[in-house]
Structure 1
Amino acid sequence: MSFKKIISILCITVLATLALVGCSSGKSPTGEKEKIKIGYVNWAEGVAMTNLAKVALEDKMGYEVELTLGEPGMIFTSLSDGNVDAFLDTWLPLTHDDYIKKYEGKIEDLGYNYENARIGLVVPEYSDINSIEDLNEFKDDLDGKIIGIDAGAGIMHAATESIKDYGLDYKLIEGSGPAMTTMLKEAIDKEKDIVVTGWKPHWKFARWDLKFLDDPKNSFGESENIHTFTRAGFKEDMPEVAEFFENFILDDDQLGSLMGKLEEMEDGEEAAREWMKENEDLVNSWIPKESK
């Protein structure tokens, strides 16, 4: 074999090795960090999980992560057309089922990241109201209002159905997750009655004594799991990151403490980074072996 051929083979081998190293460390063959786009909705658990995923992917795997905030419909549309790579806050089998059916074949399920989530109507523990079917008796005390969140949220659809199912003479007020918790706090501070669209996991259950109203007609369904969804083809394009998302699972205590940390600190990313340091073994267990 000629000297030139030997040199050529060596160069090709070196370049191939560098490409593999770059891919396993979150870098392209050119040495630039690969970018991952994660969409999220302004819901406590999603904000917490998304910030944690961001700092883990950046600090431990070398990727660049771009976050996109939006309402659920926009996030699922962006996921289906490839403008967003992943969404960590999909509630199934009920809350987001309409979106899953609508974009079938364009989005992919990487499995659950949290089990036994729940949605429903929530009141302070001191309230005399115990069931949705009793709400009409307390209409005056509640000004005939159920305090809701984002218009496109699955829980808002379920709340609308519950008004029909129970024949409630109530108006569902659109808003946001933070606005809902602000109004909840104001009512609790004054020990007034209030009913809100609520879900668990959420830091509000750790801060205040709250209860879900009984739902005998099952308008809000049974407990659900929270799943991570990606755009179609993501698993093939970024197998290492897909494996990280598949490993990314939190239990009630872990997610509760993470949400609490974000609620305490103004900077969500720094709060997630601090929580990651306190839970290093857990986070390291999500990182694929080839990235360690």
Structure 2
Amino acid sequence: MKKILFTTILLLTLIVGCSQGEDSSANEEGNGKTITFGVTPWTSTVPPTEVASLILQDMGYNVEQTQADAGSTYIGLSRGDIDVFMDAWLPVHETYLDKYGDSIVDTAVSYPEADAGWVVPTYMEDINSIADIKGKEDLFDNEMYGIEDGASVTAIIDDLIEGYELDIKQVNSSEGGMIAQAMRKMENEEPVVFYGWRPHTMFNKFDIKIIEEDQGYFETASVHVITNSELKENAPDAYEFLSNWSIPIDDVEDMIVQIDEEDMEPEEVAQNWIDNNQDKVDEMLGK
């Protein structure tokens, strides 16, 4: 009798254990795998990264973020150390796609028509194009302010300066440092020229304008999602979600304002966007 009772208990234990294992697997699409995002020091990178991270966590994935400049992010993608980059600017970043094309994948368009270029305050009424700066470089102390050296746009700006034969030097720093320097000039309505792009709070905070550039150094950009080439095989459902990714540029800009100007936590801002755009999220998830 004791032998029969022990056998029955053992069978029930095995059945319950198997059932729990099946339920756990069914509820965890990601099965605890880790997906690593590359995060550049640009405000535009944060909202899409946070939104995608929360959705992937709901799918059962662990998520990590690696802070790096653009060049290092693409190296990480090519090596498999980074799985996803949500803020690739094309055609500016095409040099990276060409260099690492065998190991990275242009996966989705996040949003199109993201303008970028040289920016001046609107009180500089006579400066409406880069050609207008020629011969007036001393107004700007022969300097224009750019972002970090690792960004591919840095080389484009240097080429532009040479192409327009401007007597001006690009001064590089972080995004925050560039804007702080521009703010100091604008507070006194002094001449200043710096690099700007949408989406960014600078266009909400300051009266500025992107000036015309007619030699083709800057084009209207589209922002893409880039993944390493192994993600599709290693995490097919995550790759499928990311391949369906898109988000309005106005929404990204609104989230940047909430994070930078209203001091809201990025995760809270991202969760609010998910809650208010569940139909969009379901579409990206293929539901």
TM-score by length of 1: 0.85
Give the superposition deviation at 1:22. Answer: 5.0
Pairwise CA distance, 1:71 = 0.7
Q: Which residue of 2 aligns with 1:115?
A: 112
Q: What pairs up with 1:185-200 in 2 under 5 angstroms?
A: 185-200=183-198
Corresponding residue SS for 2:115: strand
Aligned residue runs from structure 1 range 120-135, under 5 A = 120-127=117-124, 128-135=126-133
Distance 1:69 1:194 in 2: 30
Using structure 2 for the length normalisation, give the TM-score. Answer: 0.87
The residue correspondences of 1:28-177 to structure 2 (distance < 5 A) are 28=31, 33-58=32-57, 60-92=58-90, 94-127=91-124, 128-177=126-175
Aligned pairs for 1:244-255 within 5 A: 244-255=241-252
1:262/1:285 CA distance change after superposition, 3 Å: farther
State the 1:288 CA deviation. 4.1
2:3 aligned partner: none
Deviation per CA, 1:233-274, whole angstroms, max 9, x where unpaired? 211211111122122211222122121122122532333233
* Cα distance in structure 2, aligned partners of 1:288 and 1:19: 22
Equivalent-residue separation in structure 1 for 2:184 and 2:50 (angstroms): 28
Identical counterparts, % of pairs: 31
Provide closer, same or farther for how the CA distance between residues 277 and 14 of structure 1 changes in structure 2, counting only shifts above 3 A: closer
| Cα distance between partner residues in 1 of 2:276 and 2:20 | 39
Q: Counterparts of 1:191-230 in structure 2 under 5 Å?
A: 191-220=189-218, 222-230=219-227
Quote the residue 2:4 is aligned against: none
Shift of 1:77: 0.5
1:267 corresponds, among 265, 268, 286, to 265
Bigger mean CA offset, 277-286 vs 184-193: 277-286
Once residues 51 and 111 of structure 1 are traced to their aligned partners in structure 2, the CA distance between those partners, rounded to angstroms, is: 17
**8 Å CA contact 1:156, 1:197 repeated in 2:** no
Q: Which residue of structure 1 aligns with residue 26 of structure 2?
A: 21
CA contact (8 A) 2:28 2:60 kept: no
Q: Is 248-257 or 162-171 further displaced after alignment? A: 248-257
Unaligned runs of 5+ in 1: 1-6
Q: Which residue identity does 1:50 align to in structure 2?
A: T
Separation in 2 of the partners of 1:100 and 1:150?
Answer: 20
Determine if contact 2:199/2:250 at 8 Å carries over to the other structure: no
The letter of the residue matching 1:120 is: G
**In structure 2, what residue type is equivalent to 1:66?**
E
> Per the alignment, in what secondary structure is the counterpart of residue 167 of structure 1?
coil
Distance in 1 of aligned mates of 2:231 and 2:285: 17
CA distance in 2, matches of 1:184, 1:278: 35
Query: Matched residues in 2 for 1:262 and 1:248: separation?
Result: 22
| Total equivalences in the alignment | 275
In the alignment, is the contact (CA less than 8 A) between 2:83 and 2:227 conserved in 1?
yes
